[in-house]
A and B are shown apart, each in its own frame.
Chain A
């Protein structure tokens, strides 16, 4: 079974600072995808960033980047220059594209950006 663990239920960061959210996962698969989703108060699940396990290069999307450590099964999200609009729940998720396409989600980290 796949499990995704987010060990930080809540975090806060000062506006314009950098914060890192942690995620670990457990799988015996070799081909998979990892995601970070943002859920603001509107409840919409918004894709922040995606990482393909077979790619060694860490994914980046503007102020968001990941540190993907495949051997350690670690997938952390770094948010640079934090903005008030980054305040949200952040979910780490795992997906196996070829053996069941469903997501496995962590329990989330509530991030608050402080002005």
Chain B
């Protein structure tokens, strides 16, 4: 158990809908990262938050947004969903915003858009 909790584990929704994925980082970790893993692909970095502030952006679509709350949990919001958004979404956490030498991954949320 990595200590990173993601909910829900599975989500099925229709095209055009909006969903929210939730991540609770390890106790003491201030950074949260979101990754997308599409079929037969490696994980693609979406966005990083540190202590409530956005720190880095990767290949995140404009239809997607995220935030980190004062209790350090993070939510990834996906809107106007398309079939191609079906993927595993991973959250990872680490202690600092820079200088980390590892990160801890949650078990992921499998999103299926039908």
Identify the closest chain B residue to A45 (Cβ).
B105
User: How near does chain A come to B112, taking the closest CB pair, in angstroms?
Assistant: 14
- Taken together as a complex, chains A and B put the C-alpha atoms of A107 and B92 apart, in Å, by 18
Is there a chain A Cβ closer than 8 Å to B51's Cβ? no
Contact A4 B31, beta carbon cutoff 8 Å? no
Q: Contact: A101 with B94, CB < 8 Å?
A: yes
Per-residue B-contact encoding for A56-85, CB less than 8 Å = 1, 0 else: 000000000000000000000000000000
The prevalent SS among residues of B at the interface is loop
Check if A43 sits within 8 Å of B108, measured CB to CB: yes
Q: How far is the CA of A108 from the CA of B43 in the complex (A)?
A: 9
- Tell me whether B105 and A101 are in contact (CB under 8 A): no
In the bound complex, what is the Cα–Cα distance between A92 and B110 (angstroms)? 22
- Contact check: which of A33, A97, A98, A103 meets B43 at CB < 8 Å? A103
| Complex contact A107–B42 (CB within 8 A) | yes
Total interface residues on A, CB under 8 Å, equals: 27
Return the CB mask of B41-72 against A: 1 if under 8 Å, else 0. Answer: 11111001000000010100000000000000
B residues contacting the other copy or chain, number (CB 8 A): 29
Known: A50-B102, A97-B98, A97-B100. A102 touches B45 (CB 8 A): yes
- Bound CA span A91–B105, Å: 13
Contacts of A44 in B (CB 8 A): 2, 105, 107-108
Cβ of B28 < 8 Å from any Cβ of A? Answer: no
B86 to chain A, nearest CB (A): 14
A49–B103 Cα gap in the complex (Å)? Answer: 13
Question: For residue A39, which residue of chain B has the nearest CB?
Answer: B37
Question: What is the minimal beta-carbon distance from B50 to any residue of chain A, in angstroms?
Answer: 9
Q: Which residues of B contact A93 (CB under 8 A)?
A: 42-43
Q: Which residues of B contact A98 (CB under 8 A)?
A: 98-99
Contact B42 A106 (CB under 8 A): yes
One of A33, A37, A97, A107 near B40 (C-beta < 8 A): A107
9 nearest A-B residue pairs (beta carbon): A105-B42, A45-B105, A102-B45, A105-B43, A107-B42, A101-B100, A43-B108, A100-B56, A106-B42
Measured CB to CB, the residues of A under 8 A from B are 4, 6, 33, 35, 37, 42-45, 47, 50, 52, 91, 93, 95, 97-108
